[in-house]
Chains A and B, each alone.
Chain A
Amino acid sequence: MQTEEVLAKGVVEKIGLNGSFLKNKRFDGDKLLLEGEILDHQIGIEYIVGVLISEKHGCIKSLEEIDAVGHRVVHGAEKFKASIRITMEMIEKVEQCSDLAPLHNPPNLKGIYAIDELLPNVMQVAVFDTAFHQTMEPHAYMYAIPYSLYTKYGIRRYGFHGTSHRYVSHRCGEILGQDVKDLKIISCHLGNGASIAAIQGGVSVDTSMGLTPVEGLIMGTRCGDLDLGAFTYIMDKEEIGLSAANTLINKHSGMLGVSGISSDMRDIENAVEEGNERAKLAMDMYQYRVKKYIGAYAAAMNGVDVIIFTGGIGENDINTRGAICLGLEFLGTSLDMDKHSELRGKEAIISSDDSKVKLMVIPTNEELVIARDTMEIKKNSIQ
């Protein structure tokens, strides 16, 4: 861990469904893909650990080599403002947050239980997707709805992608050789899910996702900001209930809904080149929405020093990134077309040398943050 070298990376997918599989890639390029029955998260974790210590595809010799395990936990609500060592008390609190993230928190907990059973003496650490945004002030996180709904159900904005925004903003300080506390950063995490954060003094002051990941930017299949009056009107006109309405804004909307083509930006760009007008409209809307948020967050922080692009689209999609950057000159940005148009998936400054506001691309690395936090907490517990 001291070298922060990745020994192996992998995934388990389609848990509990037909066609479930495990994928693993070792540091030396050894690749493994195993299909078979993976009934639940607990069994999935058993297989992962089994592969890690196996002679043929493993990267460690025995379970004893594992000092700690870090977990990504999606929703920490207001209970968790930083990564934390997992204890029974903490697990109870995460269970209480499950209402807010019914799809994510329960499987996250299953992973924790599985490790507890396999490696009962190993320390476990939870890293929350929402924790980084817990520094938001009430005026940024509250919705203008009856206050009692906040006290009763915790209805407020929490934000997501916190681990990613935290990583890129701190990395930005390192690259520029400046203390992140002295910078005003706007971080654009543009992937299939997308969010943008205003980071001042090294902490999140605002972010575009809310109680759920639907709010904010236009995404692959999520609508982002939408007039709630329109939403209830649609439900009435289409005579749909809560479940279909949820599917409508989460799976049928966004780039897919507008373009009618795909949720994948590459497909949409191909369609734009072929002259498809709705694809063009979807692209224009996407870029415009990001730009609007950049303007808003510059205002929220009374200025901006760095705008960071990360996530699949932010790191690799030159057209989209370029279109967002152009027209922000009033803020003091100046895009270096040469640097920008050659850059995919690498750390770089893509603004010109004299640009008052720096434009940067920083590939995100959430796993590294989880590993670092876990090591830090482990170290502190020994001292």
Chain B
Amino acid sequence: MAERLEDYALGKRATNTKGTIKKVGLVGGGSMGQEIAVEVSKAGIDVILIDLNPDRIEEIKGMISNLLDIRINRWGMTTGDKKAILSRIQFSTDFCDLVDSNIVIECINTKKSVSNIESRKEVFKSIEKCVGEDTVIASNASTVLIADLAIVLNHPERSIGIHFISPASSVDIIEVNKCVITNQVTSDIIEKFAKVIKKKIIHVTASPGNISTRLIIPLINEACELLMEGVGTVEDIDNTLMLGFGMQLGPFALADKIGLDKLLKWMEGLYDEFGDKKYKTSPIIKRMVRANLMGKRTGEGFYIYENEKRRSKAGSIINLGREI
């Protein structure tokens, strides 16, 4: 019989592996799912990424590979790092493959412009059917309350919100929000998880939008107001916040990076919840989403994107910045 390492353990500690995070499941292979997969794998943890659309799997693999190539080209990692990261990420269309995960994070991203809370609930149910009783079930949703998803679970005490902010590789925080029924074991596992993937936890009392989305949305809306009133140009408004207050990106560049369709969904979520005008989607953003000017992803939003470079649009905002 082959020898086992455990046979050489001197203390009890070595064989006691309870509570260690060996595998993390992700449901949803959109941009956030991809970024989280990379961050988790980078920390040496196995990842199983579920996407229900079999045609998408190859595409997602390619996109993760591209994501890593960009990091290599920008000197952030080596080809050896890329190989190791990819080797730890498995893909599947079957929820049953989540079975031995210690944590499963829902990070779906539907393209529909309606709230996706129902889809998220379905995903939560499907996850619970396939995983063990001690698996933590988490959601990366930013404007949906974790309690609203937890209620569909038989064991809601294992649910928790963990919100990553894009780009997950360089943002060193995650927002963690517990609902009243989240138990201590779940919180402890997430503490450990955050430590392993080297993120600082920002504890947020359950509230839609956490801190990040609540602050960013009124900022972008107010920037749109300034633009509509003709107070300044897109570039001037962005530069004021970047050069004046040391932000890495101004509100418009940020909106383009997030994606205006995603932003619209956040805005509607917060407006529904709080009913405050400051969260109501700016008409400019609505018009741009209708015209498929979603930002960086589609090549045009408040700026034009070509070859990884951003350039300003010369036209009036009445024409959504286009020159007619």
> Interface residue tally of chain B, by bracket?
20 to 34
Cross-interface CB contact of A46 among B13, B44, B76, cutoff 8 Å: B13
With A51-B8, A248-B75 already in contact, the answer to whether A43 and B3 are too (CB < 8 A) is no
User: Which of A15-23, A134-142, A270-278 faces chain B?
Assistant: A15-23
With A16-B44, A49-B10, A118-B11 already in contact, the answer to whether A22 and B5 are too (CB < 8 A) is yes
| Chain B residues whose CB sits within 8 angstroms of the CB of A56 once the complex forms | 3
Q: Is the CB of B11 within 8 A of A46?
A: yes
A12-34 interface code vs B (CB 8 A; 1 in, 0 out): 00001110001000000000101
Beyond contacts A36-B4, A47-B5: 5 other A-B pairs, Cβ-Cβ < 8 A, are A47-B9, A50-B9, A117-B11, A244-B75, A251-B78
Q: Is the CB of B17 within 8 A of A34?
A: no
A-B contact count (CB 8 A): 69
- Per the bound structure, the CA–CA distance linking A54 and B9 in Å amounts to 10
Q: Is the CB of B76 within 8 A of A244?
A: yes
Q: Report the count of interface residues on A (CB-CB < 8 A).
A: 33
B12-30 interface code vs A (CB 8 A; 1 in, 0 out): 0110010010100000000
| Chain B residues whose CB sits within 8 angstroms of the CB of A16 once the complex forms | 44
* Cβ of B77 under 8 Å from chain A: yes
- Per the bound structure, the CA–CA distance linking A135 and B170 in Å amounts to 41
Cross-interface CB contact of A252 among B9, B13, B20, B78, cutoff 8 Å: B78
- Per the bound structure, the CA–CA distance linking A37 and B5 in Å amounts to 8
- Per the bound structure, the CA–CA distance linking A18 and B170 in Å amounts to 24
- Per the bound structure, the CA–CA distance linking A241 and B11 in Å amounts to 43
A246's nearest neighbour on chain B, judged by CB, is B75
Cross-interface CB contact of B74 among A43, A54, A244, cutoff 8 Å: A244
With A16-B44, A18-B46 already in contact, the answer to whether A39 and B20 are too (CB < 8 A) is yes
B87 CB to nearest A CB, Å? 9
* Cβ of B88 under 8 Å from chain A: yes
* Cβ of A42 under 8 Å from chain B: yes
* Cβ of A121 under 8 Å from chain B: no
Q: Is the CB of A54 within 8 A of B8?
A: yes
| Chain A residues whose CB sits within 8 angstroms of the CB of B77 once the complex forms | 247, 251
* Cβ of A35 under 8 Å from chain B: yes
* Cβ of B229 under 8 Å from chain A: no
Q: Is the CB of A238 within 8 A of B74?
A: yes
Q: Is the CB of B14 within 8 A of A240?
A: no
Q: Is the CB of A118 within 8 A of B75?
A: no
Q: Is the CB of A35 within 8 A of B10?
A: no
B44's nearest neighbour on chain A, judged by CB, is A17
* Cβ of A38 under 8 Å from chain B: yes
* Cβ of A243 under 8 Å from chain B: yes
| Chain A residues whose CB sits within 8 angstroms of the CB of B17 once the complex forms | 37, 39
* Cβ of A245 under 8 Å from chain B: yes
* Cβ of B306 under 8 Å from chain A: no
A139-161 interface code vs B (CB 8 A; 1 in, 0 out): 00000000000000000000000
Chain B contacts with A in 149-200, Cβ cutoff 8 A:
170
Cross-interface CB contact of B10 among A18, A118, A243, cutoff 8 Å: A118
- Per the bound structure, the CA–CA distance linking A221 and B81 in Å amounts to 14
- Per the bound structure, the CA–CA distance linking A248 and B74 in Å amounts to 9
Q: Is the CB of B13 within 8 A of A42?
A: yes
| Chain A residues whose CB sits within 8 angstroms of the CB of B9 once the complex forms | 43, 46-47, 50
* Cβ of B6 under 8 Å from chain A: yes
- Per the bound structure, the CA–CA distance linking A244 and B77 in Å amounts to 7
Q: Is the CB of B10 within 8 A of A50?
A: yes
Listed by A's residue number, 26 A-B pairs whose Cβ atoms lie within 8 Å are A18-B46, A34-B5, A35-B5, A36-B4, A36-B6, A38-B5, A42-B13, A47-B8, A47-B9, A47-B10, A47-B14, A49-B10, A50-B8, A56-B3, A118-B10, A221-B78, A238-B74, A240-B74, A240-B75, A243-B170, A244-B74, A244-B75, A247-B77, A248-B75, A251-B78, A252-B78
Cross-interface CB contact of A243 among B6, B14, B76, cutoff 8 Å: B76
Chain A contacts with B in 107-152, Cβ cutoff 8 A:
117-118
